Amino acid sequence: AQSVTQLGSHVSVSEGALVLLRCNYSSSVPPYLFWYVQYPNQGLQLLLKYTSAATLVKGINGFEAEFKKSETSFHLTKPSAHMSDAAEYFCAVSKSDSNYQLIWGAGTKLIIKP
């Protein structure tokens, strides 16, 4: 069965430090990949998506992610963390036998230390 694994339910970084949130997926066909962000008591907002064009994808708020087929990874990075980045981040992959559904990772809470 397809799966999405996000390493670390909580990641803590200092303000100004590099943010790295890890996502590994399994898929039998070339996938579409997504990162979403959720601020407290809000819905999910799309950060960026990979749809088989460029492997390095730039998103909103200075985030980017790189699709690495050989590693089945789609890690999210930001060069310098800001306090406003504190949120929960979800990685998702298109379900291979569906035109509609996504398979979701469990989420990673990003904590920013002052």
**Binding interface with other proteins (CB under 8 A):** 32, 34, 36, 41-46, 49, 51, 90, 94-95, 98-102, 104-107
In the complex, the smallest distance separating the C-beta of residue 43 from other proteins, rounded to whole angstroms, is: 4
Residue 81 burial (10 A CB sphere; 0-12, 13-18, 19+): buried
Distance of CA 100 to the CA centre of its chain: 19
Two tokens at 9? 């339910």
* Residues in contact with 100: Cβ distance below 8 Å, sequence separation at least 6, in sequence order: none
Smaller CB separation from other proteins, 81 or 103: 103
Strands 3-7 and 10-14: unpaired
Smaller CB separation from other proteins, 40 or 114: 40
Smaller CB separation from other proteins, 22 or 32: 32
